[in-house]
Structure 1
């Protein structure tokens, strides 16, 4: 069969399909703040989609595809969210939502919060509950020493405080 009369997309019309963003295989535990961040992302993406007009013919097909993909991802993350309120967690052990203060063997101190994957931000001292650091301190109590296995080598941490 001849392809002579099949319309090929023009250079500026050809937009490759964007694959969906991959979801984590882990349960989507979220703090109240993490759930708010996800919901705000959905609202921001809906506003962006509206601003684009929802019309792929207006030369913004690629932007619209990206917004739609990210919107599907965020809506699914909200749908899968399992809200854990840190206020309801025990304070005598490290659990999801805890703020942990720990000391290394050379006396350096670090403080971090254990949060959901979407809320994690190392620069803000927020680590994902599935991270090696969070797993190392999980269920530890004040005074316990744990081993944090990192690619750069193991570090012993003593739990100083749990909030």
Structure 2
């Protein structure tokens, strides 16, 4: 085996452990207090994982173990840099960022979601991103308003 072949393998291994950047939304990075804390915690965890990986003696294992944390450190660093902490709304007259909105769909289902930042949104836990189609349709509307969302209609029942 030639030295050139070994170096080529090493270069290939290195390029396979550099992951592409996580996509970052081009929308404004609004965050709640909880969302900012979540971003800070995620950055800290990624940074600790990267430090642990960088402490490994085996170069190939170090590359493999550091790929995900290095990518996450870059992502969360950028999300923290661009985060715009948004105070909770003081009025429930119209839907805004941070509100919890209950609405009824035209098929009779009632749903409740809190409108939060993109990184903290988790519909299965009752939160949606401010950039989601549902949130965008609800912004500025009041209790009793009916909004069109594609072929569906949503009637706002409550804003908290």
CA 1:22/1:104 → structure 2, altered by over 3 Å: closer, same or farther?
closer
2:40 pairs with 1:43: no
Tell me the matched-pair count.
155
**Correspondence 1:122-161 to 2 at 5 A:** 122-149=123-150, 154-161=151-158
Structure 2: stretches of 5+ with no match in the other structure? none
* SS in structure 2 at match of 1:67: helix
Q: Which residue number in structure 1 is paired with residue 31 of structure 2?
A: 30
- TM-score by length of structure 2 reads 0.87
Deviation of 1:12 after TM superposition, in Å, equals 10
Q: Is the 8 A contact 1:54 1:64 kept in 2?
A: no
* SS in structure 1 at match of 2:7: coil
* SS in structure 1 at match of 2:75: helix
Q: Which residue number in structure 1 is paired with residue 82 of structure 2?
A: 80
Structure 1 consecutive aligned stretches of length 4 or more whose deviation exceeds 4 Å: none
- After superposition, the CA RMSD in angstroms is 2.1
Structure 1: stretches of 5+ with no match in the other structure? none
* SS in structure 2 at match of 1:60: helix
CA 1:72/1:93 → structure 2, altered by over 3 Å: closer, same or farther?
same
Higher helix share: 2
